[in-house]
Amino acid sequence: MIPALEYRTPESLEEALDLLERHGEEAKVLAGGHGLIPALKLRLAAPRVLVDLRRVPGLSSIEPLPEGGDGFVVGALVTHREIEVSPLVRARCPLLAEVAGAIGDAQVRNFGTLAGSLCHADPAADYPAVLLALDAEAVVASRRGERRVSAGELVQGVFETALEPDEIVRSVRFPGPHFAAAAYSKARQAASGFALAGAAAHLKLDGRRATDIAVGITGVAARPFRAAGVEDALRGQELSPEAVEAAVRGLAAGRELTSDIHASAEYRARLAEVHAKRAILRAAERGSAGA
């Protein structure tokens, strides 16, 4: 049962920001609700005011970046399903469409949102690894103005973000260019579909040589992270299976890893290596095929 609260449905972003400024930590923002509603039912969250964004205009579109180029921006109310089928996303960033189509089940995909998932900060979510690999950033609004926050900076820990109580993520920016050389691989927890360990790779290629590489990791620690050691080892190198195998070895070393009933820390560390290798090699294959 959801505890008693005041339910507000602002009809503009300014009205929503006014509510957050007025109520501060006593307010929670609702987009798709697939993270917040269960938390309310379990009494893991108990706001006095619920601010539902679904009547706020201007948050439901996927548009090219106004400054041009191959990038695009995803509004805060855009659902996973809308990302999955978007012609613009499929053309410019097929990896994002692919991952959106594999999240949860049909109900989750039709109501849950990218921005909501990012703000929920579940340590086993798929999106964070992808957003890290693609250098995506959140556009955060408050009455004090707007700021941009990278995905890696926004997610601070388990269900913890860098957002202030009066702030809303109004959109997520993907700067581009996004080549075909990108992939995501994960070990799927059977009941929930969340990642026991997941890895996203985004490459710039010259033949089979990686002129640049970004690898995002999710599911193994309290927050997602870039596998900087893997990137440094492979940047400028030929992406042979042997080279990638050597580069991913020990990628989670020195980090405090999650250990629970689903998987030990040691097992998650090995899964991260396996799926990082798979993502990198798959991204290289896709890039070579699209060259």
**Is 1 a member of any domain?**
no
Out of 174, 201, 235, pick the residue that ends a domain.
Answer: 174
Q: Are residues 170 and 186 in the same domain?
A: no
Same domain, 233 and 131: no
Q: Is residue 138 located within the same domain as residue 73? A: yes
Does residue 46 sit in the same domain as residue 78? no
Residue 57 lies in a domain: no
Neighbouring CB atoms inside 10 A of 237's CB total 15
Q: Are 200 and 95 in contact (CB under 8 A)?
A: yes
Domain hosting 118: range is 62-174
281 and 187 in a common domain:
yes
Q: Which of 124, 142, 174 is the last residue of a domain?
A: 174
Residues 6+ apart with CB under 8 A from 110: 79, 80, 81
Count of domains observed in the chain:
3
Using alpha carbons, select from 143, 169, 141, 178 the residue that is nearest to residue 65.
178
pLDDT given for residue 192 in this prediction: 84
Same domain, 186 and 252: yes
> 215 and 281 in one domain?
yes
Owner of token pair 């820990």: 157
Give the amino acid at 34.
H
Residue finishing a domain among 174, 202, 220: 174
Q: Are strands 182-188 and 145-150 parallel, antiparallel or unpaired?
A: unpaired
Residue 123's domain is classified under what CATH number? 3.30.465.10
| Six token digits for residue 150 | 């990278």
Domain co-membership, 10 together with 98:
no
Query: Are 186 and 285 found together in one domain?
Result: yes
Alpha-carbon distance of 48 to 234, in angstroms, equals: 50
Tens digit of pLDDT at every position of the chain (291 positions): 677 789 999 999 999 999 999 999 999 998 987 777 777 777 777 889 999 999 999 999 999 998 888 899 999 999 999 999 999 999 999 999 999 999 988 988 999 999 999 999 999 999 999 999 999 999 999 999 999 999 999 999 999 999 999 999 999 999 977 677 999 999 999 888 899 999 999 999 999 899 999 999 999 999 999 999 999 999 999 999 999 999 999 999 999 999 999 999 999 999 999 999 999 999 999 998 765
pTM of the entire predicted model: 0.93
Q: What is the dihedral of CA 64, 65, 69, 71, to 10 degrees?
A: -80
Residues 115 and 66 in one domain: yes
Q: What is the CATH number of the domain that holds 41?
A: 3.30.43.10
- Would you state the structure tokens that stand for residue 138, as one six-digit string? 């959140």
Here the CATH number for the domain that contains residue 215 is 3.30.390.50
CB 125 within 8 A of CB 117: yes
Residues 43 and 81 placed together within one structural domain of the fold: no
Could you tell me if 76 and 162 lie in one domain? yes
